[in-house]
Amino acid sequence: DQQVKQNSPSLSVQEGRISILNCDYTNSMFDYFLWYKKYPAEGPTFLISISSIKDKNEDGRFTVFLNKSAKHLSLHIVPSQPGDSAVYFCAASGKAAGNKLTFGGGTRVLVKP
């Protein structure tokens, strides 16, 4: 049972435009959500996170939105840059999960110059 899903395996966007990555979860016990960026043969790099008490968190070009009622979160990258080309994973955790992260399947983003 996949508790965290990223339904879009890939996304292509023009440089300068907005990239929108989506993530859905099923476990209502999750109360903390994170986005990671990963290059091939490297470990994930933490990008941004959001607690369930908020519905938006912004850090530079990255903004994460959380819709608890829909069990949906999204990551907006604006403006997109070629260096943003990577695989993006959303992850969720909760106190009941003992600080363990459950990852989505990832979305491969390609930013075209």
Partner 1 sequence: GAVVSQHPSWVICKSGTSVKIECRSLDFQATTMFWYRQFPKQSLMLMATSNEGSKATYEQGVEKDKFLINHASLTLSTLTVTSAHPEDSSFYICSASPLQNIQYFGAGTRLSVL
For 84, the 3-state DSSP assignment is helix
C-beta closer to partner 1: residue 62 or 78: 62
The answer to the question of residue 62 lying near partner 1 (CB under 8 A) is no
> Closest distance between partner 1 and the C-beta of residue 81, in Å?
22
Half-sphere exposure (Cβ direction) of 6: Cα atoms closer than 13 Å: 25
First to last CA, the chain: 38
User: Pick from 41, 60, 83, 113: which binds partner 1 (CB under 8 A)?
Assistant: 41
Is omega for the bond preceding 79 within 30 degrees of 0, making it cis? yes
Which spans of this chain sit near partner 1 (rule: CB under 8 A)?
32, 34, 36, 41-46, 49, 89, 93, 95, 98-106
